[in-house]
Chain A
Amino acid sequence: MKNEECFSAPVESFMDDFDFGENLARFDKAAVFEEIDAMKDGPPF
């Protein structure tokens, strides 16, 4: 399943430049880590 997602697209579709900035903007590492820190004290309910 994961392999299909990763490798099944035609090779030409891999040629365009990957936009690092746009993708990084979708993952706020500090916020995600804070969330994980908070989980260590148990779920909030």
Chain B
Amino acid sequence: FKQRYLNKPHEINLMEELTLKGITQYYAFVEEKQKVRCLNTLFSKLQINQSIIFCNSTQRVELLARTITKLGYGCFYIHSRMGQEHRNRVFHDFRNGACRNLVCTDLFTRGIDIQAVNVVINFDFPRNAETYLHRIGRSGRFGHLGIAINLVTYDDRFNLYNIEKELKTEIKPFPSKAYVDKKLYVAEYQMVSG
């Protein structure tokens, strides 16, 4: 494992291990100034077990975490400018369920392997397919159902186009009226349906 980790040329292989299978991907079209309101609505409408929310910069992670707290939701945050030890502790606590939401930059190089995370939100849409896959994709072993919601602005249209093409996937419009079928991401409903 260490060898693979240290050996940069194997990065492509890591990418192939990640899959979007089981993840239903949506986009919501927003303006920058609507993003927080959109996120707040998602928090109130979705049945979130645990969520991870990605931003494109450390500054935005901090700003968003502060705003989410003001909105009355609990959240942790981690980004690359925090010490590794501090980061590890926060992530460990999140994994143990100490908090429902985690706001972060792109720190995960192997995809998210936390079963309890059923919703991933790209508050900022990523700039390339590899980043998208690392944020949303699951490694086969941990593959399970979940939803990913991308907040897309007009400026993101080229990235949206490229990422869909490159990953041969479809990111659907967020169902505005009916909202999301719970079978797609809530564990209890998956069991009920057999």
User: A-facing mask of B47-76, CB < 8 A → 1, else 0?
Assistant: 000000000000110011001001100000
User: Given A18-B34, A18-B37, A24 and B29 touching (CB < 8 A)?
Assistant: yes
Contact A27 B29 (CB under 8 A): yes
Complex CA gap A36/B34 in Å reads 25
Q: Which of A7, A15, A20 has the most CB of B within 10 A?
A: A20
Q: List 26 A-B contacts (CB under 8 A).
A: A3-B63, A5-B33, A6-B32, A6-B35, A6-B36, A7-B64, A7-B67, A11-B67, A14-B36, A15-B37, A16-B37, A17-B41, A18-B34, A18-B38, A18-B40, A19-B176, A20-B41, A20-B176, A21-B177, A23-B28, A23-B29, A24-B173, A24-B174, A27-B29, A27-B152, A36-B157
Tally of contact residues, A, Cβ under 8 A: 24
Which residues of A are at the interface with B, using a C-beta cutoff of 8 A? 2-3, 5-7, 9, 11, 13-21, 23-24, 26-27, 29, 32-33, 36
- Smallest Cβ distance from A30 to chain B, in angstroms? 11
User: Given A16-B37, A17-B41, A33-B161, A27 and B67 touching (CB < 8 A)?
Assistant: no
Which residues of B are at the interface with A, using a C-beta cutoff of 8 A? 27-38, 40-41, 44, 59-60, 63-64, 67, 70-71, 152, 154, 157-158, 160-161, 173-177
User: Given A20-B174, A24-B174, A11 and B70 touching (CB < 8 A)?
Assistant: yes
Residues of chain B within 8 A (CB-CB) of A3 are 59-60, 63
Pairs of residues from A and B, 5 with the lowest C-beta to C-beta distance, nearest first? A21-B176, A20-B176, A27-B29, A18-B41, A18-B38
